[in-house]
Each structure stands twice: as C-alpha cells, then as structure tokens.
C-alpha cells in the first residue's frame, strides 16, 4: 500500500509581511529618533559638566583643566554621532535647531577662555537650554513614540518579557517625566553645581551669584513637586519598566542635602571653606543617579516599539 506524500500547505497570501512592511518606515524613524535623543541626552550631561569645570578654571582652579579638555573630546565624539544620524538616517530631524546648537558649541569652545565667569555660564546655559528643548521637540517629531502595543495585547501576556511592557495610560506620563521634566530638573541641578563650584573656588558669594542661587533653588523645588505629582499617577507596570524611577524617590534626601549645603555653606557664608572639587563631585553624583531615568525610559520606549513591530 502506497502512502501519499503530504506536502505542507503554504499560504502565499499570508498578510504578516505586508503588515510589517507598512510598519517598518515608521518603526525605523522612531527607533532612529530614540537613538538621537539618547545621544543628545549624553551630550547634555557633558555640556553641563563642561560649564561647571570651565567656570572653575576661569576662577583660577587649574585642577579642573584636564576635565575640561576631556569633556570637549567627549562632546566632539557625540556631535559626530548626531551629525551622522542627521545626514544618513534622520533627514527630517529639526536640522536647523541642531545646527544652531552645534555652531553655538563650536563658538563657545573657541572663545570661552576669553569670557568672564558669568558670561561663560550664560553662554553655556543658552546652548544647553536649546538642547533640552530639542530633545522635547524630537519626541514630538516621533509622535511621542506612538507605535506602542494597545492595552488588550498586554492583558494576559504572562511571560518575563511582559514585565517590561507597560500600559498605554502610563506612556504619556513616562514621556513627560523622562524627556521634559527630568532634563529641565537636571539642568537646574547642573546650574547650581556650576555656580556652587565657582563660588567655592573664589571663596565668597557675591550678590549676582546669590540671586542666581535663590531663583534656581526655588525652581528646583517646583521641579521636585512636579515629578512627585506625575510619578504618583503611574501604575506598577510603568515603575517596573523604568526601575530607576522609584529608586530616585528614596534618593531625594541627597538632593535636599545639596540644597542645604548651598544655602548654609555658600550663600549665607561670608567666607566659603568648601572645596570646589567637593561640591562639584557631590552634585555630579546626584545628577548621575537622576539621569538614569532618561536612559531607562529610552530603553523602555525602544522595547515597546520592538514589541509592537513583532507581536
């Protein structure tokens, strides 16, 4: 008896490939924009360090000189990365705004040694604030990374990967926290770091610097309150996806210590005994912890994009 050979049936009209093809351009655009935002956030941190260290050098503390040169090297490498993406992968990415940032930075590094400390502070701050705004503009350009799984696709999905997928109602809050509130808050902390380092190197705090401190400390308290309010609305799935978010709420006492240090040891002291390198490193440790939220959130957004493409 012969047994008929059964050929496997192949559905040549299977729609899966068509679906992927229609999603692919949008997916790649959002993925590339996330990569640019990741590198812009790194660039932001380095520019903030360069502001603080260059202020110390202008005030006469040459201990910071090697770090200034190191920050310039790192920033140039990051600028090359963003330029490469603009030229090859993201031709529609707000090129004029990026060009203004890049040209401003190139002008700054060629001329900063001839500036006063406060002029140097203001010029850095203008460029950095442009970077903060550019990050938020790029998030909008990508539709706030809208290729995300819907709630129904998550419900009942019980494997390990699902712990990194958070519900849609948390998505907008995480975008706001990581790409708007956190960059703005970090810039306030970094400005305080630069001014506190400068005042500590100089040994006293003048009226102009005190005015800057008062404004920045008030702004930072508002930043902290906004972050607390938005974070309270997040569900556990979002906190699992961005694990650094709940941890920084336990770290807030260190930020409070920095504020008290500035108020009691710098603003209200006729003679400052703190070392510039001490206050710089103290604030940098705090910035490093808080900035992890941006990195974790970008990873979570990328994970959701991949999940939406492949599900």
Q: What is the 3-state secondary structure (H, E, C) of the chain?
A: CCCCCCCCCCCCCCCHHHHHHHHHHHHHHHHHHHHHHHHHHHHHHHHHHHHHHHHHHHCCCHHHHHHHHHHHHHHHHHHHHHHHHHHHCCCCCCHHHHHHHHHHHHHHHHHHHHCCHHHHHHHHHHHHHHHHHHHHHHHHHCCCCCCCCCHHHHCCCCCHHHHHCCCHHHHHHHHHHHHHHHHHHHHHHHHHHHHHHHHHHHCCCCHHHHHHHHHHHHHHHHHHHHHHHHHHCCCHHHHHHCCHHHHHHHHHHHHHHHHHHHHHHHHCCCCCCCCHHHHHHHHHHHHHHHHHHHHHHHHHHHHHHHHHHHC
Share of the chain above pLDDT 90, in %: 59
Locate the domains of the chain by residue range. Answer: 25-310
pLDDT score of 126: 96
Q: Specify the pLDDT at position 251.
A: 87
The pLDDT assigned to 93 comes to 62
Residue 15 confidence (pLDDT): 45
**Per residue in 130-176, pLDDT tens?**
999 999 998 887 666 665 455 444 443 344 444 456 777 788 889 99
What pLDDT does 265 receive? 94
Which parts of the chain have pLDDT scores under 70? 1-22, 90-93, 142-165
pTM: 0.87
């Amino acid at each position: 008896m012969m047994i008929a050979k059964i050929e496997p049936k192949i559905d040549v009209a299977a729609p899966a490939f068509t679906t992927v093809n229609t999603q692919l351009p949008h997916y790649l655009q959002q993925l590339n924009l996330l990569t640019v935002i990741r590198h812009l956030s790194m660039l932001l941190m380095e520019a903030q360090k360069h502001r603080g260290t260059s202020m110390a050098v202008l005030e006469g503390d040459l201990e910071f000189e090697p770090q200034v040169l190191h920050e310039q090297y790192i920033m140039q490498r990051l600028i090359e990365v963003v330029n490469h993406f603009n030229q090859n992968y993201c031709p529609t990415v707000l090129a004029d705004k990026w060009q203004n940032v890049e040209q401003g930075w190139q002008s700054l590094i060629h001329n900063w040694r001839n500036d006063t400390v406060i002029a140097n502070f203001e010029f850095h701050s203008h460029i950095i604030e442009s970077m903060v705004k550019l990050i938020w503009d790029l998030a909008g350009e990508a539709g706030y990374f809208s290729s995300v799984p819907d709630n129904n696709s998550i419900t009942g999905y019980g494997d390990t990967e699902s712990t990194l997928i958070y519900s849609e109602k948390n998505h907008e809050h995480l975008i706001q926290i990581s790409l708007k509130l956190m960059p703005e808050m970090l810039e306030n902390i970094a400005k305080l770091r630069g001014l506190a380092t400068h005042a500590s190197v100089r040994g006293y705090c003048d009226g102009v610097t005190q005015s800057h401190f008062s404004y920045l400390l008030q702004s930072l308290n508002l930043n902290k309150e906004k972050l607390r309010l938005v974070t309270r609305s997040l569900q556990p799935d979002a906190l699992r996806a961005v694990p650094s978010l709940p941890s920084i709420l336990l770290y807030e006492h260190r930020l409070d210590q920095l504020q008290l240090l500035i108020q009691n040891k710098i603003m209200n002291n006729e003679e400052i005994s703190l070392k510039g390198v001490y206050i710089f490193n103290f604030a940098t440790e705090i910035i490093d912890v808080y900035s992890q939220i941006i990195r974790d959130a970008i990873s979570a957004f990328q994970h959701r994009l991949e999940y939406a493409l492949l599900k």
